[in-house]
Structure 1
């Protein structure tokens, strides 16, 4: 009896990410069973939850949390707030986070999550309510030994503080190690804002060195100019 593997959509980031894995598996002569395991997420959670806005009306938002692979340890990955977020995007991000951690031998698996929302339309109070309710909905999955969220698009240290505080209330004690990217005042790490860019720079330098070339004097194209892209440009 043969088992067919899940089919990706013909386009989009999830199909592209799976296709990249397929190409790498072929070049590496990866065991077919391992290939099938790595091609799909370990678990996926979709939640729909209400948030009361400042004017009293209620909106229902959709959020996601995906664990791609847990074999190397707890999973970790960002929480993003974007208007067109869907499950395929979160699946792809979780898979990519597995590769990132494995590449530099960090004992984490890949995860990702977020809420489909335009955060520009939310007040600070509404954003806090959204974050706390989303955290409550995904709380069975997250924690220091299982899933450690971090900031991503349109989230930051304040978001992580709300996540940590909400999870701590549910657990009955402070769970400081439950998130990455929280403020320094509650146990955050110095240099966290520039860490992603510095890590990318080290990877680029290592890749150039492996090819017998130096990064110094090279011309570099940077796609995107947010916090990571800007910091990377400054470091270069």
Structure 2
């Protein structure tokens, strides 16, 4: 038994990357304050499922290209796993695993009945046309069908994905099961069952947390100078919200 444990500890698993090790290091720091058994603690150090996919796509010039896709489901103890889909050239299994871990903690801390997941496709979305992105998304969704569902794993927008991406995913999944399943994704257009304020919610949440932090520190947010990293769906909206609060 000792030999097996020592051998296992020396093996680097597929998702073992610096970002995943960071997520686990944070977890280890929090463990002394958590009332969990060693068995539960050990289980939560690992994802429940990590899927790697090959996604063949026909480009507009008739070339066929195969993209790498990933989906990691960390914990389904509290309910279906939940997490974003990102399109980026740097997407890896380890990155998705780390982000899935963090999604589990976020859902648990807010007492939401979900676990953490994250997925993505390694591609440069800026070099793909809208029709190519649609074909990529629909094929990715088709390949994920055995492991996703409203009671299993629910997708959401993330880096370089948006309401349109979620609409394609919802439509593809619904066609496969024979009826509309709007709950397979969040962040979809309002016209197909999406939520009002969903697009702004993450950036606005950043500002709400910042305002609460300033309040605890005795600072006035309107008097602060803020630095925002990135100017996408989250950073751009956060910057606008901060400006509305009087911050610079």
* Structure 1 and Structure 2 fold alike (TM over 0.5): yes
Residue of structure 1 aligned with 2:88, choices 82, 85, 102: 82
Other-structure match for 1:152: 158
User: Larger helix proportion, structure 1 or 2?
Assistant: 2
Report how many aligned residue pairs link the two structures.
Answer: 235
Other-structure match for 2:25: 19
Other-structure match for 1:50: 56
CA distance in 2, matches of 1:34, 1:203: 30
CA RMSD in angstroms, aligned pairs only: 2.2
Tell which deviates more after alignment, 61-70 or 225-234: 225-234
Residue of structure 2 aligned with 1:115, choices 103, 114, 121: 121
CA distance in 1, matches of 2:118, 2:64: 26
Other-structure match for 1:197: 203
- Shift of residue 146, structure 1, vs aligned partner: 1.2
Structure 1: 5+ residue stretches without partners: none
CA distance in 2, matches of 1:116, 1:10: 18
| Structure 1 residues 154 and 90: alpha-carbon distance in aligned structure 2, compared to 1, 3 A threshold | same
1:32-71 equivalences under 5 Å are 32-71=38-77
- Shift of residue 204, structure 1, vs aligned partner: 3.8
SS of residue matched to 2:57: strand
CA distance in 2, matches of 1:106, 1:28: 18
TM-score scaled by length of structure 2: 0.86
| Structure 1 residues 150 and 11: alpha-carbon distance in aligned structure 2, compared to 1, 3 A threshold | closer
SS of residue matched to 2:150: coil
TM-score scaled by length of structure 1: 0.90
CA distance in 1, matches of 2:45, 2:223: 35
Residue of structure 2 aligned with 1:229, choices 230, 235, 242: 235
Other-structure match for 1:169: 175
- Shift of residue 169, structure 1, vs aligned partner: 0.6
Could you report, residue by residue, the CA deviation over 1:61-111 in whole angstroms, capped at 9, with x for unpaired residues? 110111001011111110011012110011011111111111212111000
| Structure 1 residues 59 and 71: alpha-carbon distance in aligned structure 2, compared to 1, 3 A threshold | same
1:86-97 equivalences under 5 Å are 86-97=92-103
Structure 2: 5+ residue stretches without partners: 243-248
Could you report, residue by residue, the CA deviation over 1:118-155 in whole angstroms, capped at 9, with x for unpaired residues? 11111111111100000000011222111110011111
